[in-house]
């Protein structure tokens, strides 16, 4: 796909986002300067969970533990109680482990480097990319299920291209803008959730 077509797609997706952006408590107006702690909690909760389901849990969780250091002092029983009903409890355990590790190793400051983030419990490629992009404004090709579906359809990628990741990554590198990639990623997420759906797009 040519640079011109990628530019057109970026403009259309961002224009859609300006008019249809979901009002989510962890987001900011700029979308690349979110609170790192809010981003961490929300992204861990959103692993394998729909946004609408996670929202109520997120709000209660942040009210009880408003910052990383308060969470780092929590005990696992309280965290699991707060998580009850959300499922995939290993996420809650890893989130608490990560908070304690960040408190001890990084003086309570969530690291802004991909390599540091991905070494933490429960944080994989997507979550590390999301945090450095959404919270710290660094360039990153953030690829979740919705973005993967969007890029593969726009570029006509087949299942093999998606599985081996190389063509998907290359297409993402060309499509994502070098500045404010976090905003673009969240714009695709909202567009794919509403329009470029899994069925009947």
Residues with catalytic annotation? 43
Buried b (16+ CB within 10 A) or exposed e, 59-84: eebbeebeebeebbebeeeebeebbe
Question: CA geometry: angle at 158 spanning 156 and 163, to 5°?
Answer: 130
- What number of other Cβ atoms are within 10 A of residue 156's Cβ? 9
Residues 6+ apart with CB under 8 A from 165: none
CA 99 to chain centroid, in Å, comes to 17
CA dihedral 116→118→123→129, nearest 10 degrees, is: 100
Q: What does the alpha-carbon distance between residue 57 and residue 52 come to, in Å, rounded to a whole number?
A: 10
Among candidates 40, 45, 47, 34, which has minimal Cα distance to 69?
A: 40
Among candidates 121, 131, 112, 117, which has minimal Cα distance to 185?
A: 131
DSSP 1: -
């Amino acid at each position: 796909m040519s640079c011109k077509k990628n530019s057109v797609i970026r403009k259309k997706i961002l224009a859609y986002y300006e008019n249809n952006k979901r009002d989510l408590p962890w987001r900011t107006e700029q979308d690349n300067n979110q609170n790192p702690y809010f981003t961490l909690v929300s992204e861990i909760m959103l692993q394998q969970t729909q946004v609408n389901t996670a929202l109520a849990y997120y709000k209660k969780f942040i009210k009880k533990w408003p910052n990383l250091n308060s969470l780092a002092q929590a005990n696992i029983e309280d965290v699991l109680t707060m998580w009850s009903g959300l499922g995939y409890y290993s996420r809650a355990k890893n989130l608490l482990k990560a908070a304690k590790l960040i408190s001890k190793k990084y003086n309570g400051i969530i690291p802004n480097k991909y390599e540091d983030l991905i070494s933490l419990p429960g944080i994989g490629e997507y979550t590390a990319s999301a945090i450095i992009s959404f919270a710290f404004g660094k360039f990153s090709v953030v690829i979740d299920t919705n973005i993967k579906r969007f890029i593969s359809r726009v570029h006509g990628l087949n299942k093999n291209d998606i599985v081996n990741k190389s063509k998907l990554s290359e297409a993402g590198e060309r499509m994502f803008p070098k500045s404010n990639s976090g905003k673009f990623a969240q714009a695709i997420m909202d567009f794919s959730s509403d329009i470029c759906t899994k069925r009947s797009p």
